[in-house]
Amino acid sequence: MSTYEKAYEHFTSELKEMGFTHHPALYHAIAKHLGPSIHDEDSSLVACDQPKEMETVKREFLIGKLGLEDSPALDAVIQQVCGALGGSNTNKHRASFYYLLVALLQKEHLFINLKEHLPEGDYLQ
């Protein structure tokens, strides 16, 4: 099993343990977008207790990658994901964090072809 496959299995098994389902093609696309950073101990994690980190997530990913306008709603969805992944959980993996942001904001089309990959129904629970 490759390093990427091990990381993917680890990240998605943690999501399952928290009660989330995931769409494999979408998760793979987001993880690949993050590149080698998913293997780095520091950059692979999101620190919800660090305002500078939250600002970086908003500026670089939500505004920069997803093309959203800056608004209080972006801060709210970031906090929603922080809460969903557990306030005391200090290992919020960036790939899972971004996956949940993409799903909540319904921006899947920026990563995968929806007609090819998404079955009918909700895959974020």
What per-residue confidence (pLDDT) applies to 113? 86
What per-residue confidence (pLDDT) applies to 125? 44
What per-residue confidence (pLDDT) applies to 124? 52
Query: How does the average pLDDT of the chain come out, rounded?
Result: 91
The secondary structure of residue 68, as a DSSP letter, is P
CA distances from residue 118 to 2, 14, 103 in whole angstroms, order as listed: 26, 22, 12
Looking at 1.10.10.10, 3.20.20.70, 1.10.238.120, 2.40.110.10, the CATH number of the domain 3-117 comes to 1.10.238.120
CA distances from residue 24 to 82, 118, 119 in whole angstroms, order as listed: 21, 10, 12
In b/e form, how buried is each residue of 27-51, taking b as 16+ CB within 10 angstroms?
A: bbbbbebbeeebeeeeebbbebeee
> Domain map of the chain by residue range?
3-117
pTM of the predicted structure, to 2 decimals: 0.89
pLDDT tens digits, residue range 23-70?
Answer: 999 999 999 999 999 999 889 999 999 999 999 999 999 999 999 999
